[in-house]
Amino acid sequence: MSENTRLVENATCTFCGCVCDDMDLTVDLDARRITKAKNACVLGRAWFSEHTVEDRPFALIEGKPATTEEGVEAAAQILAKARFPIIYGLSDTTCEAQRQAVAIGDMIRGTVDTTTSVCHGPSGIAFQGVGESTATLGEIKNRADLVVYWGGNPAESHPRHFTRYAVTPKGMYVPNGKKDRTVVLVDVRRTPSAPVADIFVQVKPGKDFEVLWTLRALVKGRRVDPSVEECTGVPLTTLEDLAQRMKSCRYGVLFFGMGLTMTRGRHFNSGAVLALATDLNQYTHFVAKPVRGHGNVTGADNVVSWQTGYPFGVNFSRGYPRFNPGEFTTVDALARGDTDAALIIASDPASNFPRAAVEHLRCIPVIALDPKPSDTTQLARVAFTTATYGINTGGTVYRMDDVPVTLRPAFESPYPSDEQILTAIKERVAELLAEKSASARKVA
């Protein structure tokens, strides 16, 4: 390590939705890498140590090295010519970049979708149908005495969720931390999160909705047949005990994960959680929060919502925003073969999507922005190397509880930010569309 170091205090980790903003980073400015990340979890340490400045071309056009400017020109030409383009990803970039992406989508009358559609998109649908009894993580830390995790494994996906927000920290009305809280884990397998829980409820795969609906009945004092155990794998006595704990706590929270949204039932599962929380407010204070994965996926929901009125899967082809999951969500649009160009920002659908969607991605011009190579950058016609948000760039991200956090970059990157590239693409697309419009007027 060189002697040319810098300490960045209270920096923010943008790896997961916890968005912990108490990182103390030691930066080797000569090597342009973070050598120590105090307070970071195992995932955060990897995030900070592995995001260095790699020696890669600024852009690749059809696999050949190019400048950023050449990449912008090629990308703008693709987008300006497309008839049903899609803009996807956006959960690992800043709100400022997300805003530029939405502006491009509006300009080219395309579709704007984010990784939310394959994450908590079903919860977004459920929010619209059922509503959300919500809180910040700060409120939960200070007040919650019953914490239920359902269909998630924070010990591995959000390691500091327990220690910073919901299980062990001492709060205003829970002064003894974990001793003042009861922690419940509901899942189909005993994950590494189970040792944290006072009560572990193991559900048969695919039976979460049935368990949630049974709890709703029990909370309302309805009689439930003991055969529910045969269906769900959970004894009725366990559910009666849980329902009673939920009704009698001072402040309860249901954190729910993709064990609910990615399985049969999808938005009905999320809706059942939200409805249970609503029911419980007849007896006590209860909230429900989705546990969000990527560092700024919550920002993506917020930015797309405040710009278009809808959180994801938004189409501008008629000149105004329309929301229709199943039609304007990326997996569907690709698998149907509708999309004729894709702008992918900080995401890797070529690795994560079903085969039919990936096969169509291989058939259309793809523009990808990513700090690191991936399956998606490899199939892209235009691939930009970008600076890493939060490490090399400032900006704003939203924590999973919709609290905005300002980023403190650690060191500069020679590569441009997503926001810079998207702004340049937007400006060039505007010129191309204006030229197209002018020549159409001449013909007329």
Partner 1 sequence: MILIPGRSNKQGTSLNAGKLKDEYRTVTSTVEVNADDMARLKLKDGDRVRLRSAHGETVVQCKSRKAADLPAGVLFIAYGPPSSQLMGHDTAGSGMPLSKHIEVEVEPVSVASPV
Residues of the shown chain interacting with partner 1 in the complex, contacts defined by CB under 8 A: 15, 42-43, 45-47, 49-51, 113, 117-118, 121-122, 125, 153, 156-157, 159, 188-192, 202, 205-206, 258-259, 261-264, 266-267, 293, 312-313, 325-327, 329-332, 335, 348, 351-358, 372-375, 378
Q: How far is the CB of 314 from partner 1 (least distance, A)?
A: 11
Residue 412 CB, shortest distance to partner 1, in Å, is 20
Taking the complex as a whole, the smallest distance from the CB of residue 246 to partner 1 amounts, in Å, to 25
Alpha-carbon distances of 341 from 81, 82, 323, 362, 367, rounded to whole Å: 9, 6, 20, 10, 8
Tell me the three state secondary structure of residue 161. helix
Burial, 5: exposed, middle or buried (Cβ in 10 Å; 0-12, 13-18, 19+)? middle
User: Closer to partner 1 at the Cβ: 52 or 77?
Assistant: 52
Task: Name the token pair of 74.
Answer: 């090629």
| Whole-angstrom distance, CA of residue 444 vs CA of residue 429 | 22
**Cα dihedral across residues 350, 354, 356, 357: positive or negative:** negative
CB nearer to partner 1: pick between 17 and 409? 17
Confirm if 47 and 15 have CB atoms less than 8 A apart: yes
Least spacing, CB of residue 42 vs partner 1, in Å: 6
Q: Would you say 39 or 49 has its CB closer to partner 1?
A: 49
How does DSSP assign 54-100, residue by residue?
Answer: ----SEEETTEEE-HHHHHHHHHHHHHH-SSEEEEE-TTS-HHHHHH
Shortest distance, CB of residue 313 to partner 1, whole angstroms? 6
Question: Closest distance between partner 1 and the C-beta of residue 227, in Å?
Answer: 20
Cβ closest to partner 1, residue 73 vs residue 187 = 187
∠ CA 237-239-243 to the nearest 5 degrees? 120
Is 177 or 337 the residue whose CB approaches partner 1 more closely?
337
Give whichever of 71 and 122 is closer to partner 1, judged by the CB atom.
122
Q: Which of 168, 48, 89, 123 is nearest to 361 (CA)?
A: 89
- Of 137, 161, 165, 160, residue with least CA distance to 45: 160
